[in-house]
Structure 1
Amino acid sequence: MTDRSTATAGAVVVLANRTAGHRRHAALVPAVLDLLAAAGRPVRLLDVGTAVEATATCRAAVADGAAALVTVGGDGTVHLALQAVAGTDVPLGPVPAGTGNDFAVSTGFPPDPIAAVRLISAAIRDGRSRPVDLARVTGPDRTDRWYGAVLAAGFDAIVNERANRMRWPSGPRRYDLAVLVELARLRPRRYLVGLDGVSQRMDAVLVAVGNCASYGGGMRICPAADPTDGLLDVVVAGPVGRGTLIRILPQVYRGTHVQHPMVRSYRAREVTIDTAGVIGYADGERVGPLPLTVTAVAGAVRLLR
């Protein structure tokens, strides 16, 4: 049975983004609700509009005693849900239905959304969940934000910021144009990077901090990252020019870019990043200006697998 009442105590609560993945899975929600209902618990579909409403509604559902929170969408939808379930006993079930599903796939969920929701439903029925790590990012105002996949704090973040300011063109072409514009403006920046309290200055064009291996729909920017080891993986591309960066970027999908002599990898429990003029993005969502501090929090969320 699907319960659309306001009560969430004991219910499986569903946060669905019907516009995710360019609406490829817009008709998926009814099937998700039916499959979840087969687990034997009441199911409630949240009625939300904006991202702010989604976060607030998820937090209210968790506080009200929801049995589980299931997301239908991509990394952005998961990111909103993480703000509610991180550090609680309420498990999360991410149904991968977005353009980028890096957190769900990296943590062992099938890329097919129906297969994933069947796995989640079985876990609810059996009372089964397992802990995985999250990253907690703190800005200059001391506000905390959780993320599951990767924090971008270099060229990739600058491209995101550019694309989000553009009003034309629409769709993926906007991002492609933003890449071209920022490649033309590419210059190394002087970063101050702290790794477990030891700081060093680095000239770089890209800095990424991964709890999971990939972002952007399968780009394995931090290929050795493991969301169960209690550590963050940091990948830094040094002061390369446009031509070198263009040659390196396609290798990110295979994770072989880390073999390039200008790419360095580190591992730490706490990472601080600072440079002028960069806005950090986590799970593809805007976090805020650097400096940022990222902390690995072991077992911060339980997943329905």
Structure 2
Amino acid sequence: MGAVPSNTAPFGVVVNPRSALGRGARSAKKVLRALERASIPARVITGRDAIHCQQRVREECQTGELRGLILIGGDGLIGLVIQVPEARDLPIGIVPAGSGNDFASQFALSHHPARAIARILAAEPRPQRVDLGVVSLPNGRTHWFAGALNVGFDAAINRRANAIGLPLGPLRYQLGLLAELTVLKSRRFTISGDAGERTFSGLLATVMNTRAVGGGIPLAPRASVTDGELNLVEVTHAGKLRVLSVLGRLARGTHESLPEVTITKVRHIRIEADAEIAYSDGEPVGTGPFEVHIAPGALTLLA
């Protein structure tokens, strides 16, 4: 891939075609105006659906003509784009415009398009190197994640939130939580690797790269995306009355001292959870066992 002069090469502006019922498309117009004012060319990349959008990202990145990508959307769009190896090779900026923006919140990125573009351009000379997570599935597929790999209760909440087709932002996850509480159950997890080996009955065994999931729930309050480690968060079984207290502490990020909660720094772990479907960056990944490891500094972030 040949180098392109940074002052003349365009940014690829990736717009989530499903972002919060059109919020991404509206933000894209403002982003393009901000780039035009800065005399920076841009190519809009989108698609009929998520798969087509990902295909278009791959095609544009393979031309070798882009200076970087600007993603207009939420965690789902980030998760979509980082599956493309050629996209991971480019600097990436983010304009938050999704229902869940937990990765963007890790860096306090502005939702205001003009301010977001100003920060992206200011960071171009000195981008950040950011860790990503990688999960290998039994079918041989490898999936990359920016925020978290959710297994158990939080994944079930994510599934319910995705089924709500309204632009409610984090409220979708709160409604999903209430619905999932009505059928609360424990899952059986087997953990091995850096976190030791054990089997337990509980609510979740989630691997965090960022601090928050579900539109702002600080599941791993001390997580860093630059330390070369992931955070395994385990919540063991609790009765319905007790679980309400535990969940309330989780929502406030004050749960680290609870006896039901364990947070362990890991670089590689294996999670077995029967037929549980894992979610990653807001989207379904598949069933396990899940082999998870950290990819230090795998993403070049303009932030």
What TM-score, normalized by structure 2, do the two folds share?
0.87
Do the aligned partners of 2:149 and 2:207 also contact (CA within 8 Å) in 1?
yes
Do the aligned partners of 2:219 and 2:253 also contact (CA within 8 Å) in 1?
yes
Do the aligned partners of 1:110 and 1:116 also contact (CA within 8 Å) in 2?
yes
Aligned residue among 220, 236, 239 for 2:237? 239
Question: What SS does structure 1 have at the residue aligned with 2:220?
Answer: coil
Residues 117 and 51 (structure 1), Cα distance of their counterparts in 2 relative to 1, 3 Å cut: same
Structure 2 letter corresponding to 1:239: H
Structure 1 letter corresponding to 2:60: A
Do the aligned partners of 1:85 and 1:92 also contact (CA within 8 Å) in 2?
no
Partner of 2:109: 109
Listed as ranges, the gaps of 5+ residues in structure 1 are: 1-8
Partner of 1:36: 35
The alignment of Structure 1 onto Structure 2 pairs a total of residues equal to 293
Structure 1 residue 169 displacement after superposition: 8.1
The worse-fitting range, judged by mean Cα deviation, of 240-249 and 278-287 is: 240-249
Question: What SS does structure 1 have at the residue aligned with 2:285?
Answer: strand
Partner of 1:20: 19
Aligned residue among 194, 208, 223 for 2:206? 208
Structure 1 residue 27 displacement after superposition: 2.4
Question: What SS does structure 2 have at the residue aligned with 1:257?
Answer: coil
Structure 2 letter corresponding to 1:215: V
Structure 1 letter corresponding to 2:261: V
Structure 1 residue 82 displacement after superposition: 1.4
Do the aligned partners of 1:16 and 1:72 also contact (CA within 8 Å) in 2?
yes
Name the CA distance, whole Å, in 1 between partners of 2:173 and 2:119.
34
Partner of 2:10: 11
1:55-92 residue CA offsets vs partner (Å, 9 max, x unmatched): 11112222211210111111111111212257843110
- Aligned CA RMSD, in angstroms, stands at 2.5
Partner of 1:60: 59
Listed as ranges, the gaps of 5+ residues in structure 2 are: 1-7
Structure 2 letter corresponding to 1:119: R
What are the residue-to-residue correspondences of 1:58-97 with 2, within 5 Å? 58-65=57-64, 66-84=66-84, 88-97=88-97
Question: What SS does structure 1 have at the residue aligned with 2:224?
Answer: coil
Name the CA distance, whole Å, in 2 between partners of 1:57 and 1:169.
25
Partner of 2:120: 120
Name the CA distance, whole Å, in 2 between partners of 1:234 and 1:244.
22
What are the residue-to-residue correspondences of 1:114-153 with 2, within 5 Å? 114-124=114-124, 127-153=125-151
What TM-score, normalized by structure 1, do the two folds share?
0.87
Q: Does 1:45 align with 2:44?
A: yes
Structure 1 residue 96 displacement after superposition: 0.8
Residues 108 and 188 (structure 1), Cα distance of their counterparts in 2 relative to 1, 3 Å cut: same
Name the CA distance, whole Å, in 1 between partners of 2:172 and 2:26.
26
Structure 1 residue 142 displacement after superposition: 1.8
Name the CA distance, whole Å, in 1 between partners of 2:85 and 2:110.
21
